[in-house]
């Protein structure tokens, strides 16, 4: 029996060591003068997710996430909720080589937001819409332009702006939720042991989950406070998501069988 140690999935979801957000290489503020002829490449796909096995998720989407992915929390002080997309290093079991998302599964908002993102001005409240400016994402003279001939934001840019606004608001609420979980000390380290083909086993570690015993032992005033804040449905969504480890195991075995054929 072979044991394989999976890397910290939650750490992968935090992005590379450069402190750049996951997936982003060159976030650049969109400028109507500098980028008058710039466009999003046509047929932009989800291929950029192929080598990532976890992504951050927001609080409001946990009820959808729990039907398709296990939900875990990063092991650091931020306790960021993440959706587990794969069981091996650098492998997303939901993204195919064709760049399409499989299983008719809900696609996390963090992925749907890409290649757009907000940048925050240090010390201020202004948010600027940025694009990940690289050759895999943008092109000059394309059909999906970011600005019209008159210099106004295109419909594409307007839609991206509204989506990023909604995402930013949800992310702020998620931070508060995670802080409450950390303060209540109900998160515990966990390791998942997954049996796959050829009698191999994957030890998947580096994440936290809510301990049900600690949750049940919370003081009544804390539980009531969380009920008022609306946290409870999201806590239960996390707990229910544990059933999705079986889905990941099935998808990995199918991929292994396909590779061996």
| Least confident residue range of 72-81, 154-163, 195-204 | 195-204
Predicted structure pTM score: 0.89
Pairing of strands 127-132, 116-120: antiparallel
- Measured at the CA of 17, the angle between CA 49 and CA 31, to 5 degrees, comes to 70
Kindly report, residue by residue over 83-140, the tens digit of the pLDDT. 999 999 899 999 988 889 988 899 999 999 999 999 866 555 678 999 999 999 999 9
Kindly report, residue by residue over 166-188, the tens digit of the pLDDT. 999 999 999 999 999 999 999 99
pLDDT score, position 243: 95
Q: Is the pLDDT of residue 14 over 90?
A: no
pLDDT score, position 121: 60
Place of tokens 């109900």: 186
pLDDT score, position 20: 85
pLDDT score, position 6: 47
Domain ranges of the chain: 2-260
């Amino acid at each position: 029996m072979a044991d394989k140690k999976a890397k910290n999935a939650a750490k992968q979801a935090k992005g590379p060591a450069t402190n750049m957000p996951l997936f982003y290489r060159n976030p650049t503020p969109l400028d109507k003068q500098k980028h008058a002829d710039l466009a999003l490449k046509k047929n932009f796909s989800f291929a950029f997710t192929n080598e990532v096995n976890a992504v951050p998720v927001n609080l409001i989407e946990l009820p959808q996430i729990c039907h398709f992915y296990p939900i875990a929390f990063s092991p650091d002080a931020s306790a960021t909720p993440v959706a587990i997309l794969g069981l091996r290093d650098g492998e997303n079991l939901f993204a195919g080589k064709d760049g399409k998302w499989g299983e008719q599964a809900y696609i996390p908002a963090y992925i749907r937001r890409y290649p757009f993102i907000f940048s925050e001005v240090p010390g201020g409240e202004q948010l600027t819409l940025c694009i990940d400016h690289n050759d895999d994402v943008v092109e000059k003279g394309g059909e999906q332009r970011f600005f019209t001939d008159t210099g106004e934001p295109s419909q594409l840019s307007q839609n991206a702006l509204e989506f990023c606004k909604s995402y930013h608001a949800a992310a702020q609420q998620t931070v508060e939720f995670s802080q409450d979980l950390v303060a209540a000390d109900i998160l515990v380290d966990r390791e998942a042991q997954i049996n796959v083909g050829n009698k191999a086993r994957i030890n998947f570690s580096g994440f936290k989950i809510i301990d049900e015993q600690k949750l049940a032992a919370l003081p009544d005033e804390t539980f009531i406070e969380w009920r008022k804040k609306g946290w409870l449905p999201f806590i239960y969504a996390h707990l229910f998501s544990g059933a999705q480890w079986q889905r990941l195991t099935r998808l990995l075995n199918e991929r292994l069988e396909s590779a061996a054929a």
